[in-house]
Amino acid sequence: MKKIIAIVMAAVITGMALLMTSCSENSTNLEDYDLDKYVNLCEYKGVEITRRTIVVGEDDVRAKVNEMLDGFAETVNLKESDVLQLKDTISVTYVGRINGEYEGWTNGQEFANTDDNADTFTIGSGGYIPGFEDKFIGYHPGDTYSFEITFPANYTKNPKLSGVNVTFSGTVKSATRNVQPEYTDAFVAENTDYDTIAEYEAHVLEELQAEADENEKLDEISAVWNKIMTESEAVKYPDAVVNARYEESMANFESVAKSYSMSTEDLAKAMYNMTLDEFKTAMESQCKELVFEEMVLLMIIQRENITISDKEYTEGVADYAEKNGASDVSKFEEQYGEETLRQSLLWDKTLMFLLERADVSDAPVTEAETNAVK
């Protein structure tokens, strides 16, 4: 599990170290600016928020147990007598035909055909239009099938099919199912660090509750930060900083496009359904918003004189490395660089400073949440 504050900051702040240049209004380093001229900072201590309680119940434990059992499941081939169900993996051929008259289509017109090349997918994986995969539940391996279904009203993959009613017909060529092992004390003792189901599930519950507590803290931090940002105001933006962020972001985007052997125009269309000009405008707006957030954060750091000691840095980097699954702390530090890590730790500490001074009240527990723990 990543460190609580670091996750929030990844969603709120760019995560890149501030660039260092000489002191001037053309600097790309925000520390060179009188930020009071750029931001009207709200009262950031004593922010009022409501805590959202995350309730862990038996269903959550069961889901976690099933996840563990799936890791030991055996894949078996289904027979003609077996009934297809959710999570079965099936191979099917199909022909798709139009039902009725639509613009660009005629009744009975074929629009899709696998020929003899079967499509393979897991029922419930969500790889097809809503409802398509569920139509196979109840069939058997070897069955021929035919069913009607309507494409979504806004089908972006092929707008011509939006809202069109069609018939798919074909054959279920084969199917497999992952069969879980029997869940017994003996299985638990052999495959976990616990001797009985009861002990193992108590551990799972404790783990899930710790995760819920962490997510609650994430929600609180996010709520505090969002309120501070909403109540603060950007008077103007340091153009040099915004431009630097924009140029770096566009360079990264161009690099991604190049890695896919695509133009930036095509990548903007494929990823965001935007023209390149629309994408650039959106990117510039996002960079301004990110710089605004950096300015607010830096103002609070400066006003409260928040710093990271060498001890905090050493312990923080070790914690980062552990949470990110890095066994070698020095290599982890080398990968990200001391400046970036110190900046991240400083952001972490500042957000915790804000949360500790926030006015947090509990939301009423709903009937559904009460029943979840019964």
Among residues 334, 305, 294, 300, the alpha carbon closest in space to that of 317 is found at: 334
Per DSSP, what are the bridge partners of residue 175?
A: 90
Angle between helices 4-12 and 338-356 (to 10 degrees): 100
Total residues belonging to the chain: 374
Cα gap 44→60, rounded to integer Å:
36
Q: For residue 67, what pLDDT is reported? A: 94
Q: Do 10 and 142 share a structural domain?
A: no
Q: Please, which pLDDT band fits residue 25 given cuts at 50, 70 and 90?
A: low
Q: Is 234 exposed, middle or buried (0-12, 13-18, 19+ CB in 10 A)?
A: middle
pLDDT tens, 354-363? 999 999 998 7
Q: Do 166 and 108 share a structural domain?
A: yes
Q: Do 287 and 209 share a structural domain?
A: yes
The enclosing domain of 93 has a CATH number of 3.10.50.40
Domain boundary among 119, 149, 179: 179
DSSP state letters, 5-26? HHHHHHHHS--PPPP---SSTT
Q: Per residue, what are the HEC states of 27-70?
A: CCCHHHCCHHHCEECCCCCCCEEEECCCCCCHHHHHHHHHHHHH
With respect to residue 64, please indicate whether it lies within any of the assigned structural domains: no
The residue-averaged pLDDT of 241-269 equals 93
pLDDT tens, 32-71? 999 999 999 999 999 999 988 889 999 999 999 999 999 9
Q: Do 89 and 36 share a structural domain?
A: no
